[in-house]
Amino acid sequence: MNDLFKEFDPLKDKMLRILDENGILNEQLAPALPDGKVPDFLRWMLLARAADQKALNLQRQGRMGTYASLLGQEAIQLGSAAAMGADDWFFPSYRELLVCIYRGLPLSNVYLYWMGNEIGSRIPEGVNMFPFSVPVGSQILHAVGAAWAAKLQKRKIVVAVYFGDGATSEGDFHEGLNFAGVLRAPVVFICQNNQYAISVPLRRQTAAATIAQKAVAYGFEGIRVDGNDVFACYAATKAAFDKARAGGGPTLIEAVTYRLGAHTTSDDPLRYRDDSEVEQWRASDPLTRLEKYLRARQLINDNFVAEAKAEADARVEQAVTEAEAVEPPAPPDLFQYMFKEMPASLKEQLASLTELFPLKENKRG
Protein backbone atom coordinates (compact mmCIF):
# COMPACT_ATOMS: atom_id res chain seq x y z
CA MET A 1 0.00 0.00 0.00
CA ASN A 2 2.98 2.30 0.38
CA ASP A 3 3.01 2.48 -3.42
CA LEU A 4 0.02 4.78 -3.09
CA PHE A 5 2.23 7.33 -1.36
CA LYS A 6 4.95 7.00 -3.98
CA GLU A 7 2.46 7.33 -6.82
CA PHE A 8 0.82 10.35 -5.24
CA ASP A 9 3.89 12.01 -3.82
CA PRO A 10 2.72 15.59 -3.12
CA LEU A 11 5.82 16.96 -4.82
CA LYS A 12 4.52 15.45 -8.08
CA ASP A 13 1.55 17.84 -7.94
CA LYS A 14 -0.92 14.94 -7.99
CA MET A 15 -4.11 14.31 -6.06
CA LEU A 16 -5.74 10.95 -5.39
CA ARG A 17 -9.24 10.76 -6.82
CA ILE A 18 -11.11 7.48 -7.31
CA LEU A 19 -14.75 8.57 -7.70
CA ASP A 20 -15.32 11.57 -9.92
CA GLU A 21 -18.11 14.13 -9.79
CA ASN A 22 -20.23 12.10 -12.20
CA GLY A 23 -20.09 9.03 -10.01
CA ILE A 24 -17.59 7.21 -12.25
CA LEU A 25 -15.22 4.92 -10.34
CA ASN A 26 -11.56 4.36 -11.20
CA GLU A 27 -11.54 0.57 -10.82
CA GLN A 28 -7.74 0.35 -10.75
CA LEU A 29 -7.49 2.52 -7.65
CA ALA A 30 -10.71 1.45 -5.93
CA PRO A 31 -10.19 0.03 -2.42
CA ALA A 32 -11.38 -3.48 -1.60
CA LEU A 33 -14.82 -2.91 -0.12
CA PRO A 34 -17.78 -5.28 -0.26
CA ASP A 35 -20.73 -3.90 -2.21
CA GLY A 36 -22.88 -4.12 0.90
CA LYS A 37 -20.66 -1.71 2.81
CA VAL A 38 -20.80 1.12 0.31
CA PRO A 39 -24.56 1.79 0.61
CA ASP A 40 -23.96 2.00 4.36
CA PHE A 41 -21.53 4.80 3.64
CA LEU A 42 -24.40 6.76 2.11
CA ARG A 43 -26.63 5.96 5.11
CA TRP A 44 -24.04 7.44 7.46
CA MET A 45 -23.55 10.51 5.33
CA LEU A 46 -27.30 11.10 5.16
CA LEU A 47 -27.48 10.74 8.93
CA ALA A 48 -24.70 13.27 9.38
CA ARG A 49 -26.38 15.72 7.03
CA ALA A 50 -29.69 15.40 8.86
CA ALA A 51 -27.95 15.78 12.23
CA ASP A 52 -26.05 18.80 10.99
CA GLN A 53 -29.16 20.57 9.69
CA LYS A 54 -31.00 19.80 12.93
CA ALA A 55 -28.18 21.37 14.92
CA LEU A 56 -28.38 24.52 12.82
CA ASN A 57 -32.15 24.64 13.36
CA LEU A 58 -31.75 24.18 17.12
CA GLN A 59 -29.22 26.99 17.23
CA ARG A 60 -31.55 29.35 15.38
CA GLN A 61 -34.33 28.42 17.79
CA GLY A 62 -32.18 29.25 20.79
CA ARG A 63 -32.00 25.61 21.90
CA MET A 64 -28.29 25.24 21.16
CA GLY A 65 -25.26 27.49 21.42
CA THR A 66 -22.77 28.23 18.67
CA TYR A 67 -22.43 25.31 16.28
CA ALA A 68 -19.78 24.41 13.67
CA SER A 69 -21.30 22.71 10.62
CA LEU A 70 -19.61 19.87 8.72
CA LEU A 71 -21.69 20.46 5.57
CA GLY A 72 -19.68 19.34 2.53
CA GLN A 73 -16.99 17.52 4.51
CA GLU A 74 -18.81 14.21 4.99
CA ALA A 75 -16.61 12.15 2.64
CA ILE A 76 -13.30 12.71 4.39
CA GLN A 77 -14.88 12.22 7.78
CA LEU A 78 -16.60 8.96 6.91
CA GLY A 79 -13.85 7.58 4.69
CA SER A 80 -11.18 8.13 7.31
CA ALA A 81 -13.28 6.87 10.23
CA ALA A 82 -14.20 3.70 8.36
CA ALA A 83 -10.52 2.94 7.75
CA MET A 84 -9.60 2.82 11.44
CA GLY A 85 -9.25 -0.35 13.46
CA ALA A 86 -11.36 -1.10 16.53
CA ASP A 87 -8.55 -0.28 18.99
CA ASP A 88 -7.31 2.87 17.24
CA TRP A 89 -7.82 6.31 18.70
CA PHE A 90 -8.74 9.67 17.25
CA PHE A 91 -8.42 13.25 18.40
CA PRO A 92 -11.07 15.56 16.90
CA SER A 93 -11.22 19.31 16.60
CA TYR A 94 -14.78 20.64 16.83
CA ARG A 95 -16.20 19.81 13.39
CA GLU A 96 -15.96 16.01 13.30
CA LEU A 97 -19.57 15.08 14.06
CA LEU A 98 -19.58 12.23 11.57
CA VAL A 99 -16.27 10.76 12.75
CA CYS A 100 -17.56 10.83 16.32
CA ILE A 101 -20.89 9.11 15.75
CA TYR A 102 -19.40 6.55 13.33
CA ARG A 103 -16.83 5.62 15.97
CA GLY A 104 -19.52 5.17 18.61
CA LEU A 105 -20.13 8.49 20.35
CA PRO A 106 -23.89 8.93 20.86
CA LEU A 107 -25.27 11.80 18.78
CA SER A 108 -26.90 13.12 21.94
CA ASN A 109 -23.39 13.72 23.34
CA VAL A 110 -22.54 15.88 20.35
CA TYR A 111 -25.71 17.91 20.84
CA LEU A 112 -25.10 18.23 24.58
CA TYR A 113 -21.63 19.59 23.91
CA TRP A 114 -22.95 22.32 21.62
CA MET A 115 -25.73 23.05 24.10
CA GLY A 116 -22.98 24.03 26.52
CA ASN A 117 -23.34 21.00 28.73
CA GLU A 118 -19.98 19.42 29.52
CA ILE A 119 -21.69 16.09 30.06
CA GLY A 120 -21.44 15.84 26.29
CA SER A 121 -17.67 15.57 26.70
CA ARG A 122 -17.92 12.49 28.88
CA ILE A 123 -16.79 9.81 26.45
CA PRO A 124 -18.40 6.40 26.99
CA GLU A 125 -16.18 3.44 27.79
CA GLY A 126 -14.92 1.77 24.66
CA VAL A 127 -15.16 4.86 22.44
CA ASN A 128 -11.52 5.65 21.71
CA MET A 129 -11.64 9.39 21.28
CA PHE A 130 -10.52 12.47 23.11
CA PRO A 131 -13.04 15.27 23.75
CA PHE A 132 -13.58 18.01 21.18
CA SER A 133 -10.81 20.56 20.97
CA VAL A 134 -11.82 24.14 20.31
CA PRO A 135 -8.29 25.67 20.60
CA VAL A 136 -7.01 25.50 17.04
CA GLY A 137 -4.37 22.80 16.61
CA SER A 138 -3.64 21.98 20.24
CA GLN A 139 -5.00 18.45 19.81
CA ILE A 140 -2.16 17.69 17.37
CA LEU A 141 0.36 17.65 20.21
CA HIS A 142 -1.88 15.47 22.35
CA ALA A 143 -2.29 12.99 19.52
CA VAL A 144 1.43 12.74 18.86
CA GLY A 145 2.03 12.15 22.55
CA ALA A 146 -0.57 9.39 22.64
CA ALA A 147 0.89 7.76 19.55
CA TRP A 148 4.38 7.86 20.99
CA ALA A 149 3.07 6.32 24.23
CA ALA A 150 1.48 3.50 22.24
CA LYS A 151 4.79 2.91 20.50
CA LEU A 152 6.71 2.81 23.79
CA GLN A 153 4.18 0.33 25.15
CA LYS A 154 4.55 -1.75 21.97
CA ARG A 155 0.80 -1.61 21.39
CA LYS A 156 -0.40 -1.85 17.79
CA ILE A 157 -2.50 1.25 18.12
CA VAL A 158 -2.61 4.03 15.56
CA VAL A 159 -3.80 7.53 16.37
CA ALA A 160 -5.61 9.86 13.97
CA VAL A 161 -5.85 13.58 14.55
CA TYR A 162 -8.20 15.93 12.69
CA PHE A 163 -7.74 19.62 12.04
CA GLY A 164 -8.52 22.24 9.45
CA ASP A 165 -6.23 24.17 7.13
CA GLY A 166 -6.19 27.02 9.64
CA ALA A 167 -4.41 24.81 12.17
CA THR A 168 -1.46 24.43 9.79
CA SER A 169 -0.64 28.08 10.51
CA GLU A 170 -0.23 27.28 14.20
CA GLY A 171 3.01 26.36 15.95
CA ASP A 172 1.39 23.25 17.40
CA PHE A 173 1.07 21.82 13.89
CA HIS A 174 4.77 22.18 13.14
CA GLU A 175 5.89 20.99 16.57
CA GLY A 176 3.63 17.97 16.36
CA LEU A 177 4.76 16.95 12.88
CA ASN A 178 8.40 17.51 13.75
CA PHE A 179 8.37 15.19 16.75
CA ALA A 180 6.14 12.65 15.03
CA GLY A 181 8.78 12.41 12.32
CA VAL A 182 11.68 12.20 14.76
CA LEU A 183 9.94 9.61 16.94
CA ARG A 184 8.38 7.71 14.00
CA ALA A 185 5.14 7.87 15.94
CA PRO A 186 2.17 5.84 14.65
CA VAL A 187 -0.01 8.87 13.95
CA VAL A 188 -2.02 9.96 10.92
CA PHE A 189 -2.53 13.70 10.50
CA ILE A 190 -5.80 14.42 8.68
CA CYS A 191 -6.11 17.99 7.47
CA GLN A 192 -9.54 18.90 6.17
CA ASN A 193 -8.56 21.68 3.83
CA ASN A 194 -11.93 23.37 3.49
CA GLN A 195 -10.31 26.45 1.93
CA TYR A 196 -10.99 28.90 4.77
CA ALA A 197 -9.80 29.46 8.32
CA ILE A 198 -12.93 31.29 9.45
CA SER A 199 -12.70 34.14 6.88
CA VAL A 200 -9.05 33.76 5.83
CA PRO A 201 -8.55 31.94 2.50
CA LEU A 202 -5.82 29.33 2.17
CA ARG A 203 -3.71 31.54 -0.11
CA ARG A 204 -3.21 33.94 2.81
CA GLN A 205 -2.12 31.20 5.19
CA THR A 206 0.69 29.53 3.29
CA ALA A 207 2.96 30.13 0.32
CA ALA A 208 3.32 26.39 -0.20
CA ALA A 209 1.60 24.87 -3.21
CA THR A 210 -0.05 22.23 -1.01
CA ILE A 211 -0.40 21.34 2.65
CA ALA A 212 0.51 17.70 1.98
CA GLN A 213 4.01 18.63 0.83
CA LYS A 214 4.81 19.99 4.30
CA ALA A 215 5.22 16.35 5.40
CA VAL A 216 8.36 16.13 3.27
CA ALA A 217 10.08 18.76 5.42
CA TYR A 218 9.46 16.61 8.49
CA GLY A 219 10.81 13.43 6.96
CA PHE A 220 7.70 11.39 6.26
CA GLU A 221 5.08 10.85 3.59
CA GLY A 222 2.18 13.05 2.71
CA ILE A 223 -0.66 12.62 0.27
CA ARG A 224 -3.24 14.94 -1.25
CA VAL A 225 -6.69 13.44 -1.77
CA ASP A 226 -10.01 14.62 -3.14
CA GLY A 227 -11.75 15.23 0.16
CA ASN A 228 -15.20 14.91 -1.42
CA ASP A 229 -14.43 11.41 -2.68
CA VAL A 230 -15.17 8.87 0.05
CA PHE A 231 -13.25 6.10 -1.75
CA ALA A 232 -10.07 8.17 -2.03
CA CYS A 233 -10.36 9.24 1.60
CA TYR A 234 -10.84 5.64 2.72
CA ALA A 235 -7.97 4.30 0.60
CA ALA A 236 -5.46 6.92 1.72
CA THR A 237 -6.36 6.59 5.38
CA LYS A 238 -6.32 2.79 5.27
CA ALA A 239 -2.87 2.84 3.67
CA ALA A 240 -1.61 5.33 6.26
CA PHE A 241 -2.98 3.25 9.15
CA ASP A 242 -1.53 0.02 7.75
CA LYS A 243 1.84 1.68 7.34
CA ALA A 244 1.84 3.13 10.85
CA ARG A 245 0.78 -0.17 12.40
CA ALA A 246 3.65 -1.90 10.62
CA GLY A 247 6.16 0.56 12.09
CA GLY A 248 6.37 2.89 9.11
CA GLY A 249 5.69 6.07 11.07
CA PRO A 250 3.41 9.02 10.44
CA THR A 251 1.56 10.30 7.38
CA LEU A 252 -0.01 13.66 6.57
CA ILE A 253 -3.25 13.48 4.57
CA GLU A 254 -4.51 16.70 3.00
CA ALA A 255 -8.16 16.25 2.09
CA VAL A 256 -9.12 18.96 -0.38
CA THR A 257 -12.74 19.79 0.35
CA TYR A 258 -14.94 22.81 0.88
CA ARG A 259 -16.88 24.24 3.77
CA LEU A 260 -20.30 24.78 2.14
CA GLY A 261 -21.69 26.45 5.23
CA ALA A 262 -20.44 29.10 7.58
CA HIS A 263 -17.46 28.53 9.86
CA THR A 264 -19.88 28.54 12.77
CA THR A 265 -23.34 29.92 13.39
CA SER A 266 -21.59 33.12 14.54
CA ASP A 267 -20.01 33.64 11.12
CA ASP A 268 -21.33 35.36 7.97
CA PRO A 269 -19.45 33.94 4.96
CA LEU A 270 -21.23 36.36 2.60
CA ARG A 271 -18.73 38.98 3.82
CA TYR A 272 -15.71 37.21 2.35
CA ARG A 273 -16.76 34.85 -0.47
CA ASP A 274 -19.14 34.84 -3.41
CA ASP A 275 -22.15 32.60 -3.90
CA SER A 276 -20.72 31.60 -7.27
CA GLU A 277 -17.75 30.00 -5.53
CA VAL A 278 -20.03 28.05 -3.21
CA GLU A 279 -22.19 26.86 -6.09
CA GLN A 280 -19.12 25.70 -7.97
CA TRP A 281 -18.11 23.50 -5.07
CA ARG A 282 -21.68 22.35 -4.47
CA ALA A 283 -21.42 20.49 -7.79
CA SER A 284 -18.82 18.32 -6.07
CA ASP A 285 -21.09 17.46 -3.13
CA PRO A 286 -19.82 14.15 -1.69
CA LEU A 287 -23.30 12.75 -1.11
CA THR A 288 -24.48 13.46 -4.64
CA ARG A 289 -21.34 11.90 -6.06
CA LEU A 290 -21.71 8.70 -4.06
CA GLU A 291 -25.42 8.43 -4.75
CA LYS A 292 -24.80 8.68 -8.52
CA TYR A 293 -22.32 5.82 -8.28
CA LEU A 294 -24.60 3.61 -6.20
CA ARG A 295 -27.59 4.19 -8.47
CA ALA A 296 -25.52 3.44 -11.57
CA ARG A 297 -24.40 0.17 -9.96
CA GLN A 298 -28.05 -0.52 -8.99
CA LEU A 299 -26.98 -0.91 -5.38
CA ILE A 300 -29.65 1.54 -4.24
CA ASN A 301 -32.95 2.93 -5.51
CA ASP A 302 -35.50 5.56 -4.52
CA ASN A 303 -36.86 3.38 -1.71
CA PHE A 304 -33.39 2.98 -0.21
CA VAL A 305 -32.79 6.72 -0.14
CA ALA A 306 -36.24 7.46 1.26
CA GLU A 307 -35.86 4.85 4.01
CA ALA A 308 -32.36 6.02 4.87
CA LYS A 309 -33.53 9.62 5.21
CA ALA A 310 -36.48 8.55 7.36
CA GLU A 311 -34.19 6.49 9.61
CA ALA A 312 -31.79 9.41 9.89
CA ASP A 313 -34.55 11.83 10.85
CA ALA A 314 -35.83 9.42 13.51
CA ARG A 315 -32.36 8.96 15.01
CA VAL A 316 -31.79 12.69 15.06
CA GLU A 317 -35.09 13.40 16.79
CA GLN A 318 -34.35 10.71 19.37
CA ALA A 319 -30.93 12.22 20.05
CA VAL A 320 -32.45 15.68 20.53
CA THR A 321 -35.01 14.26 22.95
CA GLU A 322 -32.25 12.55 24.94
CA ALA A 323 -30.02 15.64 24.99
CA GLU A 324 -32.77 18.01 26.06
CA ALA A 325 -33.83 15.63 28.85
CA VAL A 326 -30.43 16.01 30.55
CA GLU A 327 -30.34 18.40 33.48
CA PRO A 328 -28.59 21.69 32.58
CA PRO A 329 -25.21 22.31 34.17
CA ALA A 330 -25.22 23.93 37.61
CA PRO A 331 -22.97 26.93 38.42
CA PRO A 332 -20.74 24.87 40.78
CA ASP A 333 -19.80 22.80 37.74
CA LEU A 334 -17.50 25.69 36.81
CA PHE A 335 -15.27 24.72 39.72
CA GLN A 336 -15.32 20.96 39.43
CA TYR A 337 -13.77 18.29 37.21
CA MET A 338 -10.43 20.04 36.62
CA PHE A 339 -8.70 18.77 39.78
CA LYS A 340 -9.08 15.55 41.74
CA GLU A 341 -9.03 17.66 44.93
CA MET A 342 -10.26 21.23 44.59
CA PRO A 343 -7.51 23.78 45.47
CA ALA A 344 -8.14 26.21 48.32
CA SER A 345 -8.39 29.17 45.92
CA LEU A 346 -11.22 27.52 43.99
CA LYS A 347 -12.97 26.51 47.22
CA GLU A 348 -12.96 30.17 48.27
CA GLN A 349 -14.38 31.27 44.95
CA LEU A 350 -17.07 28.60 45.09
CA ALA A 351 -17.99 29.69 48.63
CA SER A 352 -18.26 33.31 47.48
CA LEU A 353 -20.47 32.33 44.57
CA THR A 354 -22.70 30.29 46.82
CA GLU A 355 -22.95 33.16 49.31
CA LEU A 356 -23.82 35.73 46.65
CA PHE A 357 -26.17 33.48 44.72
CA PRO A 358 -27.69 30.76 46.90
CA LEU A 359 -27.72 27.66 44.80
CA LYS A 360 -29.82 24.59 44.67
CA GLU A 361 -28.07 21.37 45.52
CA ASN A 362 -25.83 20.27 42.71
CA LYS A 363 -27.11 16.79 42.10
CA ARG A 364 -24.08 15.84 40.01
CA GLY A 365 -21.54 17.18 42.49
Residue 42's pLDDT is 97
Question: Which residues face 190 on adjacent strands?
Answer: 162, 253
Catalytic positions: 259, 263, 272
Mean pLDDT by groups of 10 residues along the chain of 365 residues:
85 95 95 91 98 97 95 97 96 97 98 93 95 94 98 96 96 97 98 95 94 97 98 98 97 97 94 94 96 96 97 98 92 84 93 78 46
Domains and their CATH numbers in the chain: 4-329 (3.40.50.970), 331-364 (no CATH)
| Long-range pairs, 209-214, Cβ under 8 A, ≥24 | 209/13, 210/10, 210/13, 210/254, 211/165, 211/168, 211/252, 211/254, 212/10, 212/252, 212/253, 212/254, 213/10, 213/11, 214/168, 214/177, 214/252
What pLDDT score does 299 carry? 95
